[in-house]
Amino acid sequence: MKNTATSVAITLKQVQKTFSDGTLALKPLDLHIEKGEILVLLGPSGCGKTTTLRLIAGLEFCDQGGQILFGERNVTNIAIEQRRVGMVFQSYALFPNMNVSENIAYGLRVRGESKELKQKKVQEMLELFDLESYAHRGIDQLSGGQRQRVALARAIITEPEVLLLDEPLSALDALLKKRLRTDINALLKRLGITAVYVTHDQEEAMAMGDRIAILDRGEIAQIGTAEEVYLSPNSEFVANFIGQMNHFDGLLNGQALSFSSNFIPLPEALFSSCKEGDRLRCMARPEDMRLTTFEDATLKGAVSHSVFLGDRTRVLLSVEGVKELVHVDCFERKRYSMGDRVGLVIPPSCLVLLPNSGSEEVC
Amino acid sequence: MKKGMYFYLQLAFTLLVCAFLIVPIFMSITAGLTNNYFVGVKSGLTLRWVEQVWRMYADTIWLTMGIALVTTLVNLCIGVPCAYYLARTRSKLSAFLDECLTLPIAIPGMAIALGLISVYGGISEFRMSWLFILVGHVIFTLPFMVKSVLAVLQSINFRVLEEGAASLGASFWQRFFHVIVPNCKTGIVSGVLMTLTLSAGEFNLTWMLHTPLTKTLPVGLADSYASMRLEVSSAYTLIFLGMILPLLIAAQWLNRKPKRMA
């Protein structure tokens, strides 16, 4: 089964949502999702990601003036049952009064499709999702992972124009989650279906999406590929939301950032655009930093805590002039004890600098 | 484990209470089946009294069954959508309706009957018809149907189920009949059984609303107690028990069955 023929691009123009109590859930939003693209909406709870998904689905309607297009078709005022979407809910929303096959066939049943077509397509789905032996089971006899697969099969059997997934893996355990997200990603790619995927799990977002839109308080903070949002965050919020980030505040001193008795060498692009003595904030990821001997380093700290994580050791350092503990990932099999004095090296190219220079704190 | 004195005391007390409740019923059944109750069982067993009741009161039995069935039908048609509306809507109006629905449980049946008579009693065609009793029964039993369906609706995540069905292209009516109604089945069935038993056994309200031509079983029973031999009224009770017990047992069995909801 290939869905490319029915898939369409999704366009949101000035889509805004105000709830009946007056809360502005979504600020005017412009968004274009290409045909066949998987876009992940990522953000903390209450950021508007589920509202955006429900607006695209037709479960909510946007405020006057907004427009939602599926390809060329304006669906702004069309109810969900006529939008030709497929949706996978967080709680799966499987019908307890129907067995697995009946659940999967439901979309075809309400369309009045023939018995033969229903049987053929359900069989196809059961095979695709490895559910053949569960065809006649009740929903309450399935595990979480199986329910999730039934929900997905039910959503795509009607060959929808877009597929919407609302935190479909959040109810599963960590191991199953990892396996299923790879499976779902491969399936969506094979079907070539336009998909919008909501999650609050950044790892899941990076594994699933062609692009990730990070939402914060009802608006998109940044949209881009996983590499773009991880390596070049455009705001403190994005930098802190995706992965772990260490912050270093100081003054420009020659070609380095200086604070207390520490120095961090800066890349030329930064120091050349700032004046001597300017206040700067630089950030670095734990995996980009390296521990070295205390004596040789320009940036020094003392081990406060270390956690063995299997593939690496996360070392937490207290560094003079830095308010919070500095997190460093150490990939060598080396032990650190509390109080050990160590040096820190940050390659200048790995330093993250926010583009909106000119503010008081940030260059 | 050795059972202590308290266990046996409790058992004795429980059996005593059961006997207190069951012995009169048993006596009544026996009375309806013996030739002469005052002589006792040794006067011989007979179905004579049951036959006599059937001859005299068959119409009340049919009318009772008819009213109970139609009441149930009306409750299904009004009660299920009403429960669905109440579960779906959280407005002042729905809260008010919810309160109104609870009122007939609290108000004495006689008062409801008086209200009906004072408002509609003037429409003689209606007043003389069995429909007048039907209206009273619907008012009295509807809350039980609505509450029972509402309880199930509130225990399942019906909104998400409905959204799921809608996302697959189901219209409102398809969602209602394919998803909502089947998933409320336990509530609907228990509401149906409750309506049937309550309507069949209702006396207070019916006694006020009935006419000589629209007499139901409980009213006939009161009549027979007042004017017939004890054996006849006991046989009448026996017929009533035969009607109502299967329904009560079915209701109990349904309530014991664990609910399996995904």
pLDDT of residue A363: 37
CA angle A299, A304, A306 (to 5 degrees): 105
In a domain, B15, yes or no: no
Which residues make beta-bridge pairs with A198? A41, A166
Choose the mutation target among A20, A78, A94, A97 for the interface with B, i.e. most B CBs under 10 Å: A97
In a domain, B56, yes or no: yes
pLDDT tens readout for residues B10-29 = 999 999 999 999 998 888 88
pLDDT tens readout for residues B180-208 = 999 998 899 889 988 998 998 888 889 88
Q: Are A66 and A13 in contact (CB under 8 A)?
A: yes
Q: Quote the CA–CA distance of B13 and A362 in Å, as a whole number.
A: 82
Q: Does B178 touch chain A (CB under 8 A)?
A: yes
Q: Could you tell me how far CA A257 lies from the centroid of its own chain?
A: 32
Q: Quote the CA–CA distance of B136 and B133 in Å, as a whole number.
A: 5
Q: Quote the CA–CA distance of B104 and A32 in Å, as a whole number.
A: 57
> Considering Cα of A219, then A223, then A226, then A228, what sign does the dihedral take?
negative
Q: Are B33 and B237 in contact (CB under 8 A)?
A: no
Q: Quote the CA–CA distance of A42 and A167 in Å, as a whole number.
A: 10
From A109's Cα to the closest Cα of chain B, the distance in A is 9
Q: Tally the domains of chain B.
A: 1
pLDDT of residue A104: 96
pLDDT of residue A359: 43
Residue A357 has pLDDT above 50, yes or no: no
Class in CATH terms, A253-350: mainly beta
**Which residue in this structure is represented by tokens 């996983």?**
A226
Per-residue confidence at A107, pLDDT binned at 50, 70, 90?
very high
From B258's Cα to the closest Cα of chain A, the distance in A is 13
Pick from A45, A46, A5: which is nearest to A23 by CA?
A46
Q: Quote the CA–CA distance of B51 and B44 in Å, as a whole number.
A: 16
Q: Quote the CA–CA distance of A225 and A222 in Å, as a whole number.
A: 10
Helix (H) or strand (E) holding B200: helix B185-201
pLDDT of residue A272: 74
pLDDT of residue A360: 43
Q: Quote the CA–CA distance of A197 and A162 in Å, as a whole number.
A: 11
pLDDT of residue A352: 83
Give chain A positions within 8 Å (CB) of B165. 95, 106, 110
Share the mean pLDDT of chain A: 88
The mean pLDDT of A198-216, rounded to a whole number, is 91
Residue A2 has pLDDT above 60, yes or no: no
pLDDT of residue A297: 83
Q: Which two tokens stand for residue B248?
A: 């009560």
The mean pLDDT of A311-320, rounded to a whole number, is 91
Pick from A103, A87, A229, A241: which is nearest to A168 by CA?
A87
Which residues of chain B carry a pLDDT beneath 70? 1, 255-262
Q: Are B81 and B244 in contact (CB under 8 A)?
A: no
Q: Which residues have CB under 8 Å from B233's CB, separation 6+?
A: B221, B224, B225
Pick from A104, A131, A128: which is nearest to A118 by CA?
A104
Residues spanned by the domain of B68: 28-256
B175-to-A28, A111, A138, B162 alpha-carbon distances in Å: 33, 13, 19, 6
In a domain, B82, yes or no: yes
Architecture of domain A10-241: 3-Layer(aba) Sandwich (3.40)
**Which residue in this structure is represented by tokens 């509402």?**
B150
CA within 13 Å, CB half, B143: 14
The mean pLDDT of A197-219, rounded to a whole number, is 91
Residue B169 has its nearest CB partner, among A95, A111, A147, at A111
Nearest residue in B to A56, CA atom? B167
**Dihedral pair phi/psi, residue A352, rounded to 5°:** -100, 130
Query: Which residues of A, range 130-159, sit inside 8 Å of B by Cβ?
Result: 138-140, 147, 154-155, 158
Q: Are A330 and A291 in contact (CB under 8 A)?
A: yes
pLDDT of residue A137: 93
Yes or no, beta carbons of B164 and A89 under 8 Å apart? yes
Q: Does B157 touch chain A (CB under 8 A)?
A: yes
**Which residue in this structure is represented by tokens 């691009």?**
A9
Q: Quote the CA–CA distance of A328 and A178 in Å, as a whole number.
A: 25
Write the CATH number for B148: 1.10.3720.10
B234-to-B34, B217, B224 alpha-carbon distances in Å: 10, 13, 9
Burial class (CB in 10 A: 0-12, 13-18, 19+), B90: exposed
Residue A110 has its nearest CB partner, among B163, B168, B183, at B168
Give chain B's end-to-end CA distance (angstroms, integer). 39
> Considering Cα of A147, then A151, then A154, then A159, what sign does the dihedral take?
negative
Domain with CATH 3.40.50.300 in chain A: 10-241
Give chain A's end-to-end CA distance (angstroms, integer). 52
**Which residue in this structure is represented by tokens 């366009």?**
A11
Q: Which two tokens stand for residue A140?
A: 């309450």
Q: Which two tokens stand for residue B119?
A: 């408002």
Domain with CATH 2.40.50.140 in chain A: 253-350
Pick from B29, B262, B18: which is nearest to B161 by CA?
B262
Residues in chain B: 262
pLDDT of residue B227: 82
pLDDT above 90 coverage of chain A, percent: 56
Kindly provide the b/e burial profile for residues A222-255, where b requires at least 16 CB atoms within 10 angstroms of the residue's own CB: bbbebeebbeebbbbbbbebbbebbbbebebbee
Q: What interhelical angle do A144-156 and A115-128 show, nearest 10? A: 140
From B119's Cα to the closest Cα of chain A, the distance in A is 41
The mean pLDDT of A284-313, rounded to a whole number, is 89
DSSP codes, B6-67: HHHHHHHHHHHHHHHHHHHHHHHHHHHHBS-TTT-GGG-B-SHHHHHHHHHHHHHHHHHHHH
Yes or no, beta carbons of A91 and B169 under 8 Å apart? no
Residue A96 has its nearest CB partner, among B168, B174, B261, at B261
pLDDT of residue B102: 84
Pick from A178, A188, A179, A182: which is nearest to A156 by CA?
A188
Q: Are A352 and A363 in contact (CB under 8 A)?
A: no
Of residues B259 and A229, more confidence is placed in A229
In a domain, B13, yes or no: no
Long-range CB pairs of B228-234 (<8 Å, 24+ gap) are B229/B49, B230/B31, B230/B37, B231/B31, B231/B32, B231/B34, B231/B35, B231/B36, B231/B37, B231/B49, B232/B49, B232/B52, B232/B53, B232/B56, B234/B28, B234/B29, B234/B30, B234/B31, B234/B32, B234/B37, B234/B49
DSSP codes, A302-347: EEEEEEE-SS-EEEEEEETT-SSPEEEEE-SS----TT-EEEEE--
Kindly provide the b/e burial profile for residues A100-139, where b requires at least 16 CB atoms within 10 angstroms of the residue's own CB: bbbbbbbbbbbeebeeeebeebbeebbebbebeebeeebb
